[in-house]
Amino acid sequence: MKIDVEKLRTSLGVPVVPVVAKQHRGLDDLAWAVLVLLKSGSTRPSSPAGENEKSAPAGSQTKLIQRYARIERIVSETVETVSEDKPNVSERIDRVVTHKILGPVILLLVMLLVFQAIFSWASLPMTLIDNVFSALAATIRAHLAAGIFTDLLTDGIIAGVGGVVAFLPQILLLFLFISLLEDSGYMARAAFLMDRLMRAFGLHGKAFVPLLSSFACAVPGIMATRTIENPKDRIATIMIAPFMSCSARLPVYTLIIAAFFSGRTVLGVLSLGAVIILAMYLLGVAVAIIVASILKRTILNAPPPPFVMELPPYRVPDIGNVAHALFTRCSVFLKRAGTVILSISILLWALTAFPRSAPLPLGEGEGVRELQAPQTPTPSLPQKERATQIESSFAGRAGRLIEPAIRPLGFDWKIGIGLISSFAARETIISTLSIVYNVGENPDTKSSSLVEALRNARRADGSAIWTPLTGISLMIFFLLACQCMSTVAIVRRETNSWRWPLFMIGYMMILAYVASFVTFQGGRLLGFV
């Protein structure tokens, strides 16, 4: 389109300034026009609306007809549509990208390549970050006297926060690809493709943008539902937004994959870990659509209104916009690590450190046998005391309390401690397990990483506590459970009621438990371990 700015200015009776905000074009002209207008003291259009429109009763159909007739006249006089014999580049690409069959296949391949790149590129920086925190803990232990304060610094703060910060490279890569896809214009095509699927289940097309935002974090995703006019459609979208695999779940997925599925490939090319994560994301979307379909056919029954969305032309992503998005996401993650996760790590350390248990004679204690692997040397006395201390602590007692309920899911009391802590924030299970398994305390007697700790953990009878099936069961639980107090708080604020957040917590918890139970018990019946 070509717009005659001068003629449009005359027709409207107000200053008109062409602006391309993302490229910072016209912003100075816009600021100057606003300043001139304010200094002139006139902030109303100088051109009358038209005698016929003024004379018509307010809100009447005649007034609306006259208004839109005037709009059409102004557009016809000031906007010229340039027709081309051949389709432009964006149109030619869209013939493939938005195709009914090829479009979803391309979207699936794009997501798979993103996860493959995340796993391939993030491994080195993750190892470097992990080594830095391990070296920091070793340095502090070498220069400070043994005691509670040293344990707090190394086992509580460094082990807890470091275990989560190590996943920052993966999270940044995820946001990098999301920003590139958004800035290039492809995400709008993904929304177009998903609208066909969501509409079949009664969801509003506008729900795609909040759900897409929820892959980063459910909080801004839920806030983005304000663009949905129908209250029932909006609540339905809010109720399923937490099913999207947010960045807080990514460390949990990565930990399980690194412990039990690393080094494996599919078709000799794709990493099995990338395929598993893609499956988790797709499973979350599938469950969300099914739940939304049930809600829209029962308590939130309402027909979805039509969805209109502009497909912008494809563009080369703006590096400034992408960098700003990465900086913002990195700041949010590190702020969370420095506040919420730090606080929970200190609290969890205290719950595992108190009440203090008396030292046990060599060879005594249930917890000692649990940490012992078959045909391994007898643990040293400090390791025995540490195992007994954790089991008799407040956290250990809480884990033992819920163990009968979570045992059918394949979880023991230590995993139970992680589940309890993760209801404040999902990713804190990483720091919790690092503290509970005392990762990196003594390289001579302990696993130097959480991955090795999970692989080596044993029950009293020598059987492995963690198996691939246990890991998959835990991933399913984390995918479906509502384990984020920030999400609950924002649902309470957006719905102005405690009814909906409590309903969300309840039904998601039941769904997570049942799905995890079926996964673990079904896997055992089929012979998986």
**Burial (CB count within 10 angstroms: exposed 0-12, middle 13-18, buried 19+), residue 488:** buried
Highest mean pLDDT: which range of 58-67, 264-273, 332-341, 517-526:
517-526
Q: What is the pLDDT of residue 84?
A: 62
CA distance 471 to 473: 5
Would you place residue 443 in the very low, low, confident or very high pLDDT band (cuts 50, 70, 90)? very low
pLDDT tens, residue by residue, 121-163: 888 898 899 889 889 988 998 898 888 888 888 878 888 788 7
* Average pLDDT rounded to a whole number, residues 162-179: 84
- Residue 204, helix vs strand vs coil: coil
pLDDT tens, residue by residue, 212-254: 778 878 888 898 888 787 888 899 999 999 999 888 898 899 9
Asked if 81 and 170 count as a contact pair (C-beta separation under 8 A), the reply is no
- Percentage of the chain beyond pLDDT 90 is 26
Q: What is the pLDDT of residue 318?
A: 85
- Torsion angle of alpha carbons 240, 169, 161, 132, nearest 10°? 170
Q: What is the pLDDT of residue 437?
A: 83
Choice between 291 and 434, residue whose per-residue pLDDT is larger: 291
Q: What is the pLDDT of residue 379?
A: 43
pLDDT tens, residue by residue, 452-478: 889 888 888 888 999 999 999 999 999
Tokens of 122: 């993030």
pLDDT over threshold 80, residue 336: no
In one letter, which amino acid is 419?
A: L
Exposure string for 430-450, b = 16+ CB within 10 A, e = fewer: bbbbbbbbbbbbeeeebbebb
- Residue 79, helix vs strand vs coil: strand
Counting other chains too, the contacts that 85-89 makes at CB distance below 8 Å and 24 or more residues apart are 88/313, 89/313, 89/314
Would you place residue 343 in the very low, low, confident or very high pLDDT band (cuts 50, 70, 90)? confident
Tokens of 356: 């203090």
Tally of CB atoms within 10 A around 19: 13
* Average pLDDT rounded to a whole number, residues 49-58: 56
Q: What are the φ and ψ backbone dihedral angles of 3, each rounded to 5 degrees?
A: -110, 125
Would you place residue 59 in the very low, low, confident or very high pLDDT band (cuts 50, 70, 90)? low
End-to-end CA distance of the chain: give it in Å, rounded: 62
Q: What is the pLDDT of residue 446?
A: 41
Choice between 321 and 524, residue whose per-residue pLDDT is larger: 524
* Average pLDDT rounded to a whole number, residues 280-290: 92
CA distance 255 to 439: 14
Mean pLDDT for the chain? 82
Contacts for 267 with CB less than 8 Å, ≥ 6 apart:
none
Highest mean pLDDT: which range of 7-11, 145-149, 381-385:
7-11
Q: What is the pTM of this model?
A: 0.73
CA 455 to chain centre: 27
Q: What is the pLDDT of residue 55?
A: 59
- Torsion angle of alpha carbons 515, 516, 522, 526, nearest 10°? 130
Choice between 375 and 132, residue whose per-residue pLDDT is larger: 132
* Average pLDDT rounded to a whole number, residues 410-432: 88
pLDDT over threshold 70, residue 448: no
